[in-house]
Amino acid sequence: MKARIINAQTALLAAGMIALLTTLTAEAGAGSQQNPGVLPPDSSPFGASYSQWSERWWQWVFSLPVGQHPLFDTADVSAGQKGQVWFLGGNFTGRPETRNVTIPPGIALFFPVLNRWADNTDCSGGQIVSDGFSEASIREFIGGLQDQARNLSCTIDGTAVRGLSDPVLTPYRVQTPTPGGFSYSLPGTDNLLDFLGATCWTDSSGAPIQVDAAIYHPVGDGVYLMLAPLSVGTHRIHFHGEAGSFVEDILYNITVAGD
C-alpha cells in the first residue's frame, strides 16, 4: 500500500478497533491513577480528548517550515505554540537527542512517546495527486504499523509513567478522530512533505497549501501523554520507543520560568 508514513518524533487495525477501544476504556482509569501529573487518557483535558489533541499535534507539526521547527532543532520550543497546551516531540533521525528548553508557568505539555501518520498525499509527474485509498484502509494500514511499536517508556523527573508496557493496548494509545481524517496546512515551501520526498507539495509563490481531509484522509496513530503544568523550576522528561529499525530516545531538560 503506497500511503506516506512517518516516524515522529516525528501511526489500529480496523478489524480490531472495537475490541481495542473497549480494552482502553476499561484500563484508562486505573492507569491514570498510577501517574500523578499525567492527565487521564479517558478525560478531556483543556476541552479536548487525547484523540483530538493528537490531531492538533499533527496540525502543529505540519504547520511549520523545516527550517523553523522545534522538532528539527531549527527553532525555539515556543514556535507555533498557543494557548495553555504546548507540544513536544521526537525527531526524524532516530538518533538520541537532548533538548534544553524554557517554557512559561501554567503550560500543560502534550507529546507522543511514539507515533505515526499516513495519508493519500503523493506526486505523479511533478503534480500533486491522491493515492485514492479509503480512510478505513489508511486506518488499518497505519494501525498495523503502530502495532509494531515496542519498548515504550517515559520518565518524568525520574519517575516512570506506568501503563506503557503494552504498546498495543496501553490506554494512552489513540488515533486521530473519525470520520474523515483531519485537514492541515503546509507552508508553501520548506515543508514536511517536501522534506519527506513529496517535492511537488510546494508553491513557488510561498502561499500555504491546504491538505483536505475529504480527499487525502490523513490519520495519525500513537501513544501520547498530557502532563499537567509543571512547577516553576527544572524538570526532566525522557521518552523512548522503537518500531522496526527506528529508535526514538529523547531527553527534555525543561526550565519552567517564574512569573
User: From CA 80, how far away is CA 102, in angstroms rounded?
Assistant: 15
pLDDT tens digits along 46-98: 999 999 999 999 999 999 999 999 999 999 999 999 999 999 999 988 899 99
pLDDT tens digits along 165-181: 999 999 999 999 978 89
Q: Residue 36: its pLDDT value, please?
A: 79
Place 160 in a pLDDT band, splitting at 50, 70 and 90. very high
Q: Taking the CA of residue 50 as centre, how many other CA atoms within 13 Å lie in the half-sphere pointing to its CB?
A: 24
For residues 72, 78, 83, 89, the Cα torsion angle rounded to the nearest 10 degrees is 30
Residues 6+ apart with CB under 8 A from 184: 58, 59, 62, 63, 210, 211, 218
User: From CA 204, how far away is CA 167, in angstroms rounded?
Assistant: 42
Q: Residue 145: its pLDDT value, please?
A: 94
Inter-CA distances, 124 with 127, 193, 215, Å: 5, 14, 16
Q: Residue 44: its pLDDT value, please?
A: 96
Q: Residue 33: its pLDDT value, please?
A: 53
Give me the phi and psi of 250, to 5 degrees please. -125, 130
Q: Which of 248, 252, 235, 229 is nearest to 100 (CA)?
A: 252
pLDDT tens digits along 201-232: 999 899 999 999 999 999 999 999 999 999 99
pLDDT tens digits along 11-43: 222 222 223 333 333 344 444 457 879 999 999
How many domains in the chain?
A: 1
Q: Residue 82: its pLDDT value, please?
A: 95
Terminal-residue alpha carbon distance, the chain: 51
User: From CA 215, how far away is CA 43, in angstroms rounded?
Assistant: 30
User: From CA 257, how far away is CA 217, in angstroms rounded?
Assistant: 39
Percentage of residues of the chain with pLDDT beyond 70: 87
User: From CA 40, how far away is CA 209, in angstroms rounded?
Assistant: 35
Residue 208 domain boundaries:
4-256
Could you tell me whether strands 150-156 and 159-160 are parallel, antiparallel, or unpaired per DSSP bridges? antiparallel
Could you tell me whether strands 4-7 and 108-119 are parallel, antiparallel, or unpaired per DSSP bridges? antiparallel
pLDDT tens digits along 125-138: 999 999 999 999 99
Strands (E), the chain: 4-7, 85-87, 97-103, 108-119, 121-124, 127-130, 150-156, 159-160, 173-175, 184-186, 209-211, 219-227, 233-243, 246-256
Minimum mean pLDDT among 14-18, 140-144, 184-188: which range?
Answer: 14-18
